[in-house]
Every structure is written in C-alpha cells, then in structure tokens.
Amino acid sequence: MSPVRELSSWAVRWGLLGLVSGVLSCGLADSSSLYLVRYQKTFDHIVWPGLVFALVVILPMSRLARDGWVRTAAALLTSCAIYPITWYIAASTTFPPGATMVAAFAFSGFLGSLVLASVLLFGRPGWVRTTGVTVVVGTAIGGLLGGHLLAATKGAISLGSAGDVLAIYMVLWQASVGTSLGRGILPRPNKAPPPAGGPVTPVANSGGTEGPLSRG
C-alpha cells in the first residue's frame, strides 16, 4: 500500500474512533446514574469528554506509534486537562450572549487542538503540517459552535436545546480532530532480526592459520 493510501486508511480509522469517543462522552456526561445530585453535573460533565477521548483515541494512537510511556502519559494528561480549561474560556462568554461568543468558542477550539496536537505529534514526520491542519479544523468547529449557540439565543434558528447543540459539535470535534491527528500517526514497524547467514568473522585455528567460524 502506498504511503498516502496508508495514511488515509489510518486517518479514517481514527476518525471512527473519534466518533465513538464523542458519542460515549455525550452518554457519560448526560447519564444521571453517574451523579449523586443533579448539581454535580455542572462540574463533572466537562471532565468526561477529555478523559474519554484520551482513553479511546489518544492511548491507542500513542501505543501504535510505540511511544514511550512518558510521552503517552503526557498526551493523556493533556487531553484530560485541556477540555475543562477551554470549556471555561468559552462558557465565560455565554452570559450575556454576544458576538464575543463566536470568538471565544473559536479560540477554545484553537487552543485545545493546538495543545493536544503539539504534545502528541511533536517530532514526528510532517508534524508541523499535521498540527496546522488539526488547529484549523478545531478552530473552525469551535467557531461554528459559538455561532450556532449565538443564533439560537437570538431566536434566529431552533435546532434543539443548547445541550443537543453541544453534543452534536462535541461528536463532530472529536471525530474530525481524531481524523486529523491520525494522519500524523503511523504504526512503527518492529525491528527486524539480523538475517541468518550473515558475515563470518575469521579466527585463528590451532595450526596458526585463519579459518571461518562454524555457523551455529
């Protein structure tokens, strides 16, 4: 398989995993069985998306690339931490709603995708280009989410509750960013063992002349 086709094949697989991660994140964030009191969801639900994305997408990516455990742990912790941070940045502009919502959500998408891609892809072949594409994708989806929420608050559109809108864009962001990140991750091949019957080192025999080592 050509390198381009191989990259595309893996990117599609990571996109599907991102889709699964997004749906699972929505299910966990909305599951009343996970919370003792309803008000607990106001904090805990913003932790699930980053945690689920880390375990479902980032961990398999890093292990496929045969990263060291330090780099893997750094990528996992980054995914878990960056989502709550970016969510607080975006949510701080929703009351009262205004034009800054679009910029704030776009910046949150930019920051999340930039930090995550930089930690996961740094030093890999073509990592700058892949990081750039990931940032563009993440920023665009963040901006669309902000614009959608702003239009909904103004009564311009009505496509379900704010929670439904957030869920749709969460799934879209995780699937799209997973696809983009996947273009920078390829399985690292195992080191092949040395071929049998390699060069033979001559040694001196008992008669003082050189002769080949016997092959085991």
Q: Which of 125, 122, 109 is nearest to 176 (CA)?
A: 109
Q: What percent of the chain has pLDDT over 90?
A: 39
The whole model's pTM is what? 0.76
The answer to whether 48 touches 13, Cβ cutoff 8 Å, is no
Residue type, 141: I
Asked whether the predicted pLDDT for residue 43 surpasses 60, the reply is no
Tens digit of each residue's pLDDT (9 = 90 or more) over 127-143: 999 999 999 999 999 99
Going by pLDDT thresholds of 50, 70 and 90, the confidence category of residue 98 is confident
Strand partners, 11: none
**Structural domain containing residue 41:** 3-212
Average pLDDT, stretch 56-80?
Answer: 93
Tens digit of each residue's pLDDT (9 = 90 or more) over 18-29: 999 988 888 776
Tens digit of each residue's pLDDT (9 = 90 or more) over 160-216: 666 777 888 889 999 999 999 988 887 766 555 555 555 555 555 545 454 544 444
pLDDT, residue 8, reads 73
Rounded CA separation 96/11 (Å): 39
pLDDT, residue 143, reads 92
Rounded CA separation 140/156 (Å): 20
- Domains identified in the chain, total number: 1
Average pLDDT, stretch 91-99?
Answer: 74
Going by pLDDT thresholds of 50, 70 and 90, the confidence category of residue 113 is very high
